[in-house]
């Protein structure tokens, strides 16, 4: 993979990740006259839960589901200039023009998976997923070095049912100035498990799931399974067999194996209802500065969907939204069986 860094018209960083065999990149200037960069977001703390809430009022004006000929993530052409000045690319990362976090409060980046507006990660193949793993790892390592950053979160939102604002295949990377509530809760469970049993929570979960009925697909280095207490009608967790805290810690063989397994899994997810599945794909990485938390943590990917049937969505109702108690209408064992039966 070849990495090339440049700047957009308003000073934001853009990074091209070119695959082997791609032509050597020529950097194109961004000729747009852009307004001043958005003001910083504001972090507030909920006194009841002590959780952080991000107030980012400037995002109300961000681009929302434009037609394909106005997509800001497509390559630039002679007659239209986008967020990517180049006429083509493999994978590219750049600072978000409408970030949820900015300045001293963190950083948000967009990661485009392909220059093809009409494709999807499921259709791009293992080679492109392998490039993405390297890009995720590279950006995670770089962002973790920024002052004040406590956790790096790589994710993909896919489908209008999830709430995406751009159809182009892409994900995002957030450099957070705090450890997320979900991570804090899981770390507390891992700590309690170690104190009570002397074992590693993630290793014990993985060992139990690999022996059970909910494994979807696995290879030498990874296992994908539907968790026993899945909250969502479609939910798959992907664990590496070797305990590592984050994406930069994966070796080459593990990255290759993930690319193959994840491509297989995405094909199964799209085949479940015979149509592209809306989902959130979320990488859980260890906090970057807390040595004890890093020792307790384990890298994992969690993919989940709001679709519960071919023509039905799961909406968070009173128990989920009001009290955080999830009710799953689909048995996890049933979801795992159906995914195993789908031809990827």
| pLDDT score for 232 | 98
Average pLDDT for 60-70 = 85
pLDDT above 90 for 102: no
The mean of the pLDDT values for the chain is 95
Those residues whose C-beta lies under 8 Å from the C-beta of residue 44, and which sit 6 or more positions away, are 52, 53, 54, 55
Domains of the chain as residue ranges with CATH: 2-28+63-176 (3.30.428.10), 181-341 (3.30.428.10)
- Side-chain-side CA neighbours of 13 within 13 Å: the count stands at 12
pLDDT digits (tens, 9 = 90+) for 5-31: 999 999 999 999 999 988 888 899 999
Task: Kindly tell me if the per-residue pLDDT of 38 is higher than 80.
Answer: no
> pLDDT tens digits, residue range 239-251?
999 999 999 999 9
- Label residue 82 by pLDDT band (50, 70, 90): very high
Does the pLDDT at position 39 exceed 80?
A: no
pLDDT digits (tens, 9 = 90+) for 167-187: 999 999 999 999 999 999 999
| pLDDT over threshold 80, residue 235 | yes
From the candidates 28, 117, 168, 170, which is the catalytic residue? 170
pLDDT at 7 (0 to 100): 97
- Is the pLDDT at 104 greater than 80? The verdict is no
Spatial CB neighbours of 77, under 8 Å, sequence gap ≥ 6:
87
Compute the residue count for the chain.
Answer: 344
Helix (H) or strand (E) holding 191: helix 181-197
Instruction: Assess whether pLDDT exceeds 90 at residue 309.
Output: yes
pLDDT reported for residue 64? 81
Q: Is 170 a catalytic residue?
A: yes
Q: Compute the average pLDDT of residues 225-253.
A: 98
Whether pLDDT at 61 is above 80: no
Model confidence over 184-201: pLDDT tens digits? 999 999 999 999 999 999
Contact 218, 224 (CB under 8 A): yes
- Confidence band of 40 (pLDDT split at 50, 70, 90): confident
The percentage of residues in the chain with a pLDDT greater than 90, rounded to a whole number, is: 89
> How far is 169 from 179, CA to CA, in rounded Å?
27
C-alpha 85/C-alpha 81 separation (Å) is 7
pLDDT at residue 154, as a whole number: 98
């Amino acid at each position: 993979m070849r990495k090339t860094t440049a700047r957009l018209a308003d000073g934001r960083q853009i990074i091209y990740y070119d695959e082997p065999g791609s032509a050597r990149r020529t950097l194109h200037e961004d000729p747009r006259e852009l307004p001043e960069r958005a003001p910083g977001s504001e972090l507030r703390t909920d006194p009841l839960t002590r959780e952080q809430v991000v107030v980012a009022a400037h995002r109300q004006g961000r681009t929302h589901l434009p037609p394909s000929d106005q997509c800001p993530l497509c390559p630039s052409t002679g007659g239209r200039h986008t967020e990517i000045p180049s006429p083509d690319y493999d994978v590219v990362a750049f600072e978000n023009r409408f970030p949820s976090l900015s300045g001293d409060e963190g950083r948000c980046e967009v990661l485009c998976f392909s220059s093809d507006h009409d494709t999807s990660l499921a259709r791009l193949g293992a080679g492109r997923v392998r490039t993405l793993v390297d890009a995720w790892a590279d950006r995670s390592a770089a962002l973790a070095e920024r002052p004040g950053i406590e956790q790096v979160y790589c994710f993909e939102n896919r489908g209008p049912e999830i709430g995406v604002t751009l159809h182009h295949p892409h994900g995002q990377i957030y450099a957070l100035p705090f450890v997320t509530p979900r991570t804090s809760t899981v770390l507390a469970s891992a700590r309690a498990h170690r104190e009570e049993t002397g074992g590693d929570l993630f290793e014990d979960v993985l060992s139990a799931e690999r022996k059970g009925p909910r494994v979807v697909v696995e290879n030498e280095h990874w296992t994908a399974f539907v968790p026993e207490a899945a909250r969502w009608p479609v939910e798959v967790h992907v664990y590496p067999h070797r305990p590592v805290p984050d994406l930069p810690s994966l070796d080459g063989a593990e990255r290759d194996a993930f690319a193959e397994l994840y491509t297989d899994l995405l094909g199964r997810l799209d085949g479940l209802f015979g149509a592209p599945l809306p989902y959130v794909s979320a990488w859980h990485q260890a906090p970057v500065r807390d040595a004890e938390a890093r020792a307790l943590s384990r890298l994992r990917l969690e993919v989940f969907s709001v679709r519960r049937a071919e023509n039905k969505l799961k909406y968070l109702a009173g128990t989920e939204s009001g009290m955080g108690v999830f009710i799953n209408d689909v048995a996890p064992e049933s979801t795992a069986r159906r995914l195993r039966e789908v031809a990827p």
